[in-house]
Structure 1
Amino acid sequence: MAVPKERIFPTQAQVLGATRPGHDAILTPEALAFLATLHHRFDARRRELLAERVARQARYDDGQLPDFRTDTTAIREGHWVVAPIPAALRDRRVEITGPVERKMIINALNSGAKVFMADFEDSSAPTFANQIDGQINLRDAVDGSIAYTSPEGKQYRVEENPAVLVVRPRGWHLPERHITVDGEPMAGALVDFGLFAFHNARRLQARDRGPYFYLPKLQAMEEAALWNDVMAAAEEFLDLPPDCMKATVLIETLPAVFQMHEILHALRGRAVGLNCGRWDYIFSYLKTFRAHRDRLLPDRGQVLMTVPFLKAYSELLIQTCHRRGAFAMGGMAAQIPIKGDEAANEAALAKVRADKLREVQAGHDGTWVAHPALVPVAQEVFDKYMPSPNQLNVVRADVNVCRDQLIAPCSGTITRAGFDNNVEVALRYTASWLDGQGCVPIHHLMEDAATAEIARAQLWQWLHLGPLEFTDHAPIDAALFDHSLAKHTHRLIESGSPVAHRAEQASTLLKQLTHADELGDFLTLAAYEQLA
């Protein structure tokens, strides 16, 4: 793409990562100049907002509880709506998500889902090769040339009427150490967004396909406003119409649920919806209340969307979105098909149907699945109960959610099986992530960084906010964790798994994080320095 010289910042981003054939078509001098421009204009502000996150968490650790802001009452009570939603996004009843891997992209686009969210974040391990290969794959998907031939010779191509492409860049907190500006690592978010926009935005805009983005891990309206300004700057730089870039925001942190009106308002020219990012939301609940023994959560298998604090979150999101003319997207079904066991597979699909029925009857406009085989399952439910393209007419006037409902403690139990499962999932996922895989099937569930974070955070809390005991009254202590971790590490080594060679490395990291005096913010931040 040719860019007028006067628009190129006098410095370029520097590439430190090892490149492969084809990467130079993505990491062009013009694209690197564009990245440098974004970094110079916005990175200092990003760092300030991350510092505010730290200060906010310190207040929670000291006993303060999250609440609605008093300085933004006028926004919450005002009469305003977001800009009209583009035609391509008015029916989002089923969305499929997955990493930016070539075969996955083709299968997702062909899955029958209305939208494919190509994920640079929680379902991707951000090796430099993965990130830049992902940009090549998306460029080829946008220009219609993407194809893949398996080692067995099977050929994959995109069929007619593919899903609408939406891209999720990394969150504001994640660095990209392989690309620097003036010696400073760039924000992963700016790299992912910048490279995709630079190479694809004009083509997508010409076809009325955006570009469209999913924005993760926001905690406050100011973080949404930063994204709005980044997109506005990119539109100006690339000679695109204002607000052609559209955004759906994942409400997957506890602080953000108290600012949903404000987040939509900050993005009101380009916001098209909010999403119940349920797994990260549960993780954020754990992290926010890491020092609050009265808000411990039970086994993660017991923390369903029907528990009071999650039900309140879902219903408030629906009410907020529809009041503002935006879509309220449901959450992820993590189940995957169980081959060779028809009864177990049907039981898993029944859970998916029940979850999607709850969502559509509550008023959600669409939902997420992690596997192509679940697209028709979810679509059948939404087609039956939502014959129209969306449910913006469902205003949920019956919902009256207060602060205490959104942070209500969750009843339940801590079992030996739940504890042991958390150890196994955290270990196996970490080993896979360190080996470059960010989306891992474990016990017929598709685990990503969010679900692994729940397992890790629960282990830390159960050990550090005790003394606690299992349902059989046996104590939960560090010795038990060490024994379970050693057991699963040995099993992984002996399993013959492709990631067995990462078992000891993952075990050491998980042990350090779990024994630490403070719950670490993100597993992926701690592991990133060990990633190839």
Structure 2
Amino acid sequence: MSAVAPAAPAAVAAPATPGLSLTVQVAGQQTLLTPELVALLVSLHRAIEPGRQAALSHRVQRQAEFDRGVLPDFRTDTAHIRQGQWQVASIPAALADRRVEITGPTDPKMVINALNSGAKVFMADFEDSTAPTWANVLAGQRSMIGAVRGDLTFTAPAAGDKPGKQYALRPEPERAVLIVRPRGWHLDEKHVLIDGQPIAGGLFDAASFILHNGRTLAGKDRGPYLYLPKLQSMEEAALWEAALSHIEAATGLAQGQVKVTVLIETLPAVFEMEEILYVLRERIVGLNCGRWDYIFSYLKTFRRHPDRVLPERGQVTMTQPFLKAYSELLIATCHKRGAHAMGGMAAQIPINHDPVANEQALARVRADKLREVTAGHDGTWVAHPALIPVAMEVFNEHMPTPNQHHVLRKDVSVTRDQLIAPCSGTITRAGFENNVEVCVRYLAAWLDGNGCVPIHNLMEDAATAEISRTQIWQWIHVGNQHLDDGTAIDLTLLDTTLKALPSRLGDTSGLPGAGRIGEAIGLLDQLSRNQDLLDFLTLPAYARID
């Protein structure tokens, strides 16, 4: 994979604190990179980076075992945790009712609209919904500061003679509670070098947000609150515990002040949910069914297993037995320990030009949210403000209490084999072509600085692009896969589909990242041909921005 490996950045500027240098300059960055923050980043990196590298190495070792045929399972060395009598710490009043949460990127307009949307919670996403150009990362942190202060504004560009629309925050009691999702352990922040190494992107995100906003949020009993992504083990959760404890000590916050929700969006993590709750028990408030990344992780974990190849994405729904088992086990685990069990994302967006199709999409959202609330979930996610009333109506009707911790789901008994059982289905030509299109269009937008893209009436982010990319690779390289019409899924089919894509897209001038579609086609072609599946699409793509 050397052809797509990131090049080592060259330091071009150095703040006063020894050990830290920057690889790029953006106007106004020094107002964020204060001496206090720089000192925190240096000490945090030195304390946590050895553990992060060990965790990433362990991921590689485990994946090699999975590739050899080993199956994930519940740990024997932690049975005492699963069998013990313990509860997580009490949940703050601001997070007691999380029945509908909205998620999205960190640009000012999105942040204002999301906080004003009527949702209970807004998750500001520095990970899957944000293309991490240095300008985007810093702009996102400025948005967080403005949101916490309450003075964040945005003016849309003027349209002809019409002045640009003004956006401003509603009074705080009318706003959603803010939770920030930092980047996962696998992602570097290449623009910030400490002792010559890039700092972990998640550490930069979390430390910057907490240092600038932590004391203000604590004073208002509003956090700080984080969503932690893509953990694979209790040891990775313990690494976050160490990092947050370090940040709290450095910023004068009480130990345990920072509260977290963990996304269970990797297959290895579903076997360690109780352990993750346990090591974070003084600060964790819940787990979330990160369904799209979870499907991606299933594909990646079993990338070499021809007997576990999944059908096209549209057929892999939460009613499939292995996903139903995952969801119900999460509910039972969380409620046993006094934590929230959050449901997954509804990715639909309004179809304003087609009322019939729009109502069909809303009906799918209602059915999905009804499944979640009747199963015992305490809340759910939506990707678009128009879905909030639909989800809220379902949860209000079936969940009159702030949450459903009383729904213990003692009927749930999930085995290892149920969690890893593949689902049956087909791969249609339309499904293959859609995977190619989604991956190319999302990747082009991401390279152009946009990490959240509407495609075919769904809001696509890195997770759904990863499903598309991983399925293409697996269908080509593992087993003898065919479309339902008998066509072999091979590099010839990929070549034909990629060559036809520009004509299929037609006029691309209005598409996000239109100028980088050719580059995205080339990168997908390269990654799909490689004999090894790259762990994350965003790793080679990150080398191509800034």
Aligned equivalents of 1:463 and 1:231: distance in 2? 42
Alignment-derived partner of residue 528 in structure 1: 542
Alignment-derived partner of residue 4 in structure 2: none
Aligned equivalents of 1:52 and 1:279: distance in 2? 23
| 8 Å CA contact 1:198, 1:238 repeated in 2 | yes
| 8 Å CA contact 2:17, 2:38 repeated in 1 | no
Give the partner amino acid of 1:379: M
Secondary structure of 2:459 counterpart: strand
Question: Are 1:194 and 2:194 matched, yes or no?
Answer: no
Q: Of 145, 150, 156, which residue of structure 2 is paired with 1:150? A: 156
Measure how far apart 1:476 and its partner are: 1.4
Alignment-derived partner of residue 515 in structure 1: 529
Aligned ranges 1:39-118 → 2 under 5 Å: 39-118=45-124
Aligned ranges 1:438-477 → 2 under 5 Å: 438-477=451-490
Secondary structure of 2:380 counterpart: strand
| 8 Å CA contact 2:453, 2:512 repeated in 1 | no
Measure how far apart 1:492 and its partner are: 4.7
Secondary structure of 2:436 counterpart: helix
Q: Of 4, 9, 24, which residue of structure 1 is paired with 2:30? A: 24
Q: What's the RMSD between the two structures over aligned residues?
A: 1.2
TM-score, structure 2 normalization: 0.95
| 8 Å CA contact 2:102, 2:381 repeated in 1 | yes
Secondary structure of 2:532 counterpart: coil
Q: Of 119, 126, 135, which residue of structure 2 is paired with 1:120? A: 126
Aligned ranges 1:89-488 → 2 under 5 Å: 89-152=95-158, 153-160=164-171, 161-488=174-501
Give the partner amino acid of 1:513: L
Question: Are 1:34 and 2:40 matched, yes or no?
Answer: yes
Give the partner amino acid of 2:401: S
Measure how far apart 1:493 and its partner are: 7.5
Percent identity between the two aligned chains = 62
Give deviations 1:147-172, integer Å, cap 9, x for gaps. 11111321111113200000000000
Aligned equivalents of 1:185 and 1:451: distance in 2? 27
User: Kindly tell me: are residues 48 and 30 of structure 1, through their superposed partners in 2, closer, same or farther at Cα, counting changes over 3 Å?
Assistant: same
Aligned equivalents of 1:406 and 1:133: distance in 2? 40
| 8 Å CA contact 2:129, 2:452 repeated in 1 | yes
User: Kindly tell me: are residues 28 and 162 of structure 1, through their superposed partners in 2, closer, same or farther at Cα, counting changes over 3 Å?
Assistant: same
| 8 Å CA contact 2:16, 2:35 repeated in 1 | no
Give the partner amino acid of 1:373: A
Aligned equivalents of 1:235 and 1:292: distance in 2? 44
TM-score, structure 1 normalization: 0.97
Give deviations 1:258-283, integer Å, cap 9, x for gaps. 00000000100000000000000000
Measure how far apart 1:12 and its partner are: 4.9
Aligned equivalents of 1:177 and 1:366: distance in 2? 35
Aligned equivalents of 2:17 and 2:513: distance in 1? 43
Aligned equivalents of 1:495 and 1:227: distance in 2? 42
| 8 Å CA contact 1:23, 1:133 repeated in 2 | no
Secondary structure of 1:241 counterpart: coil
Measure how far apart 1:30 and its partner are: 1.9
Aligned equivalents of 1:144 and 1:339: distance in 2? 32
Aligned equivalents of 1:240 and 1:458: distance in 2? 44
Measure how far apart 1:483 and its partner are: 1.1
Measure how far apart 1:10 and its partner are: 6.0
Give deviations 1:320-344, integer Å, cap 9, x for gaps. 0000000000000000000111001
| 8 Å CA contact 1:82, 1:325 repeated in 2 | yes
Measure how far apart 1:491 and its partner are: 4.6
Secondary structure of 2:118 counterpart: coil
Give the partner amino acid of 2:179: V
Aligned equivalents of 2:274 and 2:18: distance in 1? 38
Aligned equivalents of 2:177 and 2:119: distance in 1? 9
Alignment-derived partner of residue 4 in structure 1: none
Give deviations 1:314-365, integer Å, cap 9, x for gaps. 0000000000000000000000000111001000000000000000000000
| 8 Å CA contact 1:114, 1:164 repeated in 2 | yes
Aligned equivalents of 1:221 and 1:377: distance in 2? 36
